[in-house]
Structure 1
Amino acid sequence: MAPTAGGKTEAAMLPLLSRMAEQGWTGTSILYLCPLKALLNNLLPRLERYADWLGRRAAIWHGDTTAGNRRKALPNSPTFC
């Protein structure tokens, strides 16, 4: 149990990102489901930075995600890793 913005998601994601890097996972490798759009929007900059360290990328998809950002998140996107 930790307070809001206490690093709970990072505590879950960093071991997964480490395993992804060590084992050479490809394609869409981690899917994080979250009940709150605000939390996803808050997490995205940090998750993008972590993914970038590994040469990967992170994206969000919820009801307010623009069509352009949705296209970028799809596997056939030229920037998909």
Structure 2
Amino acid sequence: MVPTKKNHPTTFIADGPNQVWTWDITYLNTFTSGIYYKLYMIIDIYSRKFVGFEIWPEESGELAGDLIERAIVIEKN
């Protein structure tokens, strides 16, 4: 088999706040087995500041998009 060239992941470098954000969804345990809340969080990679976060019972692209929109409005003010 002939080796194939793999693309390296994109690297983003910030030299000041609010240039590059990253986000993640983390599962939070509850007292009920198999039930989790989802912590949506956005972090500024330069300052490591939490730019936005919310907790929801489900994962949804719409919820994530709404959080990002609110974080943008808050950080621009």
Q: TM-score, normalised by structure 1?
A: 0.31
Structure having the higher Rg = 2
Task: Between the two structures, name the one with larger relative contact order (CA 8 Å, sep ≥ 6).
Answer: 1
Specify which structure has the higher proportion of helix: 1
